[in-house]
Amino acid sequence: MLRRTPSTLLVCLVLFLSTVLINTAWPADPQEALDVLLKPNDTGASAQVKRHKAKPRPGYVAVPPQVPVVVPYPPPHAYPPPGGITKVKPLAACPVPPYGGMPCLLPQPMPRQWDMSVQFIFARTRGTIAWPRNSWWYYGYSGWSNEADLNDALGLPAHWTLWQFTARYQFQPNWGMRYSILPFEISGGRGWWDYGSWNWFVFGPLYVTPGQPYNAKWQHQYHRLGLVYDAIKTCSTVLSVFADWVHTEDQVSLNCISCGWSTAIFSKGGDSAIAGLEFQQCIKTAPNGGTFSCDYKAGVIFFDDVQGWDIQIGMKYTIPLGCGRWGYAKGGYRFIDIKKSQPDILFNNAIEGGFGEFGFIF
């Protein structure tokens, strides 16, 4: 009888494992493995077991670098409000050009934002004054008038640089409150050698003739306070209606020692109203977010024996400052004309000329 050795068992074990690993189909997932264990004699289940080959690793594909695109900071109203029940019709999103490019967006103050600016007017100042309006000095002389020209007769400079401060607060999407002030003081006069335009005029108690020296001063204040309503408001256009209370204060003084009295002072203040329209239109929005736009304003002054108008035509360039804030510069031409006519006095004054304006929306 032959003795069994351990090598014989080892050879049998190797042959058994080779047969199992080569001829057996392994299940692809745990579910197939469970079916095989539960139904070992089901040939259909064994036939369904498929061999799965390992998928090759995909290669790396080079992606070209993307060029960054600068998009301007749009105003908050450019995005549609969230859905839900609202009391007013929501604003639609700003349209995008069909062939690409930047949409034309007009920067506007949002609710609870301020719009403050300072305007410098390179003005031509002119006007006339009649105080009193009918003087006994000219009674019986046809063609003479008691109106004295502010430039020719009183000797005030015809050109002056003025400034105006404006502040607007937007308390509703379409409603804002605005205040502005335009003050100035102009001094002039005539000397012994300056006969001016050879004007004779009466200024209060003074009777001034050519050759008499005198000093003149004109102090003026132009206040406006009112409401602005944006009747039409889109992403690129705004048409507004405004109504303001207007207060003007004028003081004209004349110091003439050789006229009999040292100083005569004319002082007159008045309260009136102004109503008009404003129109803003976006022209072009640059890739850096800067916007070119036109800005027109026109108003009529009336009430309390006052007539006049305030017209402004300009172009505006606005740049984004981040977080909904904007800075802008504006230039154009402005014309202000105010006439006060009463039985005892007549005072007309006008300011016109080019202007430059700088402001912020924050």
Asked whether the bond before 30 is cis by omega within 30 degrees of 0, the reply is no
pLDDT for res 318: 96
pLDDT for res 121: 98
Beta bridge partners of 225: 179, 245
Instruction: Give CA separation, 162 vs 47, 118, 324, 335, 350, in Å.
Output: 99, 11, 31, 13, 13
Beta bridge partners of 359: 117, 328
pLDDT for res 25: 55
What pTM value is reported for the model? 0.71
Is residue 191 classed as helix, strand or coil in its secondary structure? coil
Domains delineated in the chain: 113-134+161-185+218-361 (2.40.128.100)
CB 188 within 8 A of CB 152: no
Amino acid letter at 139? Y
Residue 274 sits at φ, ψ, to 5 deg, of -140, 140
pLDDT tens for the 362 residues of the chain, in order: 445 555 666 666 666 666 555 555 555 555 654 565 455 555 444 445 455 555 555 554 444 444 444 444 444 444 444 444 444 444 455 666 655 567 899 999 999 999 999 999 999 999 999 988 876 655 444 445 688 899 988 989 999 999 999 999 999 999 999 999 999 999 998 877 665 556 778 888 888 887 788 899 999 999 999 999 999 999 999 999 999 999 999 999 999 877 766 789 999 999 999 999 999 999 999 988 899 999 999 999 999 899 999 999 999 999 999 998 999 999 999 999 999 998 888 999 999 999 999 999 99
CB 303 within 8 A of CB 274: no
229: exposed, middle or buried (Cβ count in 10 Å: 0-12, 13-18, 19+): middle
DSSP state of 25: P
pLDDT for res 166: 98
CA distance 192 to 116: 47
CB 72 within 8 A of CB 287: yes
pLDDT for res 115: 97
